[in-house]
Structure 1
């Protein structure tokens, strides 16, 4: 079971590629204990609560650490209900809020992702405080302190503007002592073009060559060393995977949050089972544009029809950038 609590949609940064940036007029909300209780009570009544091998609880935002009260409360609730051996915490944070209280929360997170896009000139291009100041210096200090105590994943959002610096950026992080680096191509960057594909592949090839040359055997880099080209499982959104928003709204995954077409109900009223069945029906149909492709059963576009809909406007027309990501996995598997 995978459960994501959006502790707040508020954030102390104003990143240029974020849905939640200043000017988008999104109401700032913080999850309450009442909403968290209702969500957890709903989960405990599902069949998969008893059968799940693992209960993965993730904290998301906005910046999740702007609502420490609810993170601590949710942890307390789950720890009273789930054996420690089955409980797994995850969180993605921007790394700018790092006091003693937040350090205690971070110490309990099993998989911590910290958003760091590159060197100062790259990171600060998009990830700025509300006053316009870049956040690199503060985030890097946080990352280094955390890495002295536990593993931390550096999550890099890669846009068309920064793809040409990808290899240099990853090499920089490796030289700074980080070993878990997750470059993520921004699928919603509308500026990607077909001619970018050879540049993307070349950047990842250079990373692989650098790792081999420097003998960084412990490095974990998505697509390069962490490439597992395996058959994709079916979407479990609304069945074993849930996203709870601060107001109690329920969505199947992060792609759908805020999309009225995929609103699955509210913790106060319960799941809309008809919507869940509709989602399963859509995901069970073939992606017609990909029929015959040797990677069909291994590709995100054939598994997740919602990626296709979000990017191409059609559930069964593959997203070219999602397709490219799958081909990267194939190249380095």
Structure 2
């Protein structure tokens, strides 16, 4: 994960980096290339996530990085996570030409996006532009008390865009702006169950009319877990194979731990990679686990999110997975 800039052009209500104000540090090309060379030295395939802040504030650096990967035949796939405000036709085409997956942070229709992130109209204009350019994109939605009830309307709006490929749901991280608990709160378990169930049902109806389904990422996660005999680590950070690099070349296991001295892994000049692994992300056992179809094989959660959110956060993750699991089993979606 290359944090190409800590600057952001929005000021999301729950930013775990503390909120944006247009100011921040920019990564230089030398730092980015040293990070790539460090990972490429393993001679193993790897994935590069370009992130921020808002990475398109460092747009030319983004493309210099992509050119370096291509010109040196590095065995890397690439993706960018953006709020979309700075996307234009040329940028979209260039990203597509590099085979870079595009993810856009969208919490709801323009009015909700405006409340939670700002510049809602600009973000939705960017989605329409990506669709017109036939550039596939996914959407990541942060669940809060303000938008979880309306997830089905987000699904309906994205259905009208054939280039929309997937929706991913993230729970609030109680760090930075969200830790201050000002204005925006996590949804409760009842709201998660109702909002996610309506989203699942809506996608089932709409996908019957699409040549390519609009995938809910967490549904795929649950179905994979149902097909296993035991739980597995939640993500690469749980196995020590994930690394986030700041503009200054500081190292952390993932972007959600940036700036936290407890997770600092040194610098590109003096890395301390022996302690890169976070906990496995398994949820603590709860009474609600009894009778759950995922018992013993639960996907778990992002370990850094569990760290910052504590027991209450684990309960909300449980509600999310249990809702999807119950729905899939009711629909007969049991992996062979």
Q: TM-score range by the shorter chain?
A: 0.7 to 0.9
In 1, are the aligned partners of 2:14 and 2:172 still within 8 Å (CA)?
no
Tell me the equivalent position of 1:170.
155
Q: 1:184, CA displacement in angstroms?
A: 1.4
Deviations along 1:226-269, whole A, 9 cap, x unmatched? 45333554353273211111111111123322221111111111
In 1, are the aligned partners of 2:5 and 2:27 still within 8 Å (CA)?
yes
Tell me the equivalent position of 2:54.
63
Give the alignment of 1:275-294 within 5 angstroms: 275-276=275-276, 279=277, 282-283=279-280, 288-289=284-285
Q: 1:14, CA displacement in angstroms?
A: 1.5
- The CA distance in 1 between the partners of 2:305 and 2:218, in whole Å, is 23
In 1, are the aligned partners of 2:102 and 2:138 still within 8 Å (CA)?
yes
Tell me the equivalent position of 2:243.
242
Tell me the equivalent position of 2:298.
299
- The CA distance in 2 between the partners of 1:8 and 1:256, in whole Å, is 16
- The CA distance in 1 between the partners of 2:88 and 2:211, in whole Å, is 33
The structure-2 alpha-carbon separation of the partners of 1:325 and 1:229, relative to structure 1 and needing over 3 Å to count, comes to farther
Look up the SS of the partner of 2:243 in the other structure: strand
Tell me the equivalent position of 2:36.
40
- The CA distance in 1 between the partners of 2:191 and 2:212, in whole Å, is 29
TM-score calculated relative to the size of structure 2: 0.78
Asked if 1:204 is matched to 2:199, the reply is yes
Tell me the equivalent position of 1:194.
189
- The CA distance in 1 between the partners of 2:197 and 2:123, in whole Å, is 28
Asked if 1:309 is matched to 2:307, the reply is yes
Tell me the equivalent position of 1:222.
216
Look up the SS of the partner of 2:285 in the other structure: helix
- The CA distance in 1 between the partners of 2:251 and 2:9, in whole Å, is 24
Unaligned stretches of 5+ residues in structure 1 = 129-134
Q: 1:311, CA displacement in angstroms?
A: 0.8
Look up the SS of the partner of 1:218 in the other structure: coil
Tell me the equivalent position of 1:123.
113
Q: 1:321, CA displacement in angstroms?
A: 1.8
- Name which of 295, 311, 327 aligns with 2:322: 327
In 2, are the aligned partners of 1:171 and 1:210 still within 8 Å (CA)?
no
Tell me the equivalent position of 1:17.
14
The structure-2 alpha-carbon separation of the partners of 1:270 and 1:300, relative to structure 1 and needing over 3 Å to count, comes to same
Look up the SS of the partner of 1:122 in the other structure: helix
In 2, are the aligned partners of 1:159 and 1:185 still within 8 Å (CA)?
no
Unaligned stretches of 5+ residues in structure 2 = 174-183
- The CA distance in 1 between the partners of 2:302 and 2:161, in whole Å, is 36
Tell me the equivalent position of 1:256.
257
In 1, are the aligned partners of 2:189 and 2:316 still within 8 Å (CA)?
no
Deviations along 1:24-52, whole A, 9 cap, x unmatched? 7897111012212321232233xxx22x3
In 1, are the aligned partners of 2:79 and 2:102 still within 8 Å (CA)?
yes
- The CA distance in 1 between the partners of 2:283 and 2:92, in whole Å, is 44
Point out the more displaced range, 185-194 or 36-45.
185-194
The structure-2 alpha-carbon separation of the partners of 1:150 and 1:199, relative to structure 1 and needing over 3 Å to count, comes to same
The structure-2 alpha-carbon separation of the partners of 1:177 and 1:193, relative to structure 1 and needing over 3 Å to count, comes to same
The structure-2 alpha-carbon separation of the partners of 1:192 and 1:137, relative to structure 1 and needing over 3 Å to count, comes to closer
Deviations along 1:46-86, whole A, 9 cap, x unmatched? xxx22x3x321110011101112321222232223335xx4
The structure-2 alpha-carbon separation of the partners of 1:272 and 1:201, relative to structure 1 and needing over 3 Å to count, comes to closer
- The CA distance in 2 between the partners of 1:224 and 1:60, in whole Å, is 21
- The CA distance in 2 between the partners of 1:287 and 1:172, in whole Å, is 33
Q: 1:190, CA displacement in angstroms?
A: 4.1
- The CA distance in 2 between the partners of 1:198 and 1:102, in whole Å, is 38
- The CA distance in 2 between the partners of 1:318 and 1:289, in whole Å, is 13
The structure-2 alpha-carbon separation of the partners of 1:224 and 1:77, relative to structure 1 and needing over 3 Å to count, comes to closer
Look up the SS of the partner of 1:306 in the other structure: helix
Q: 1:99, CA displacement in angstroms?
A: 4.3
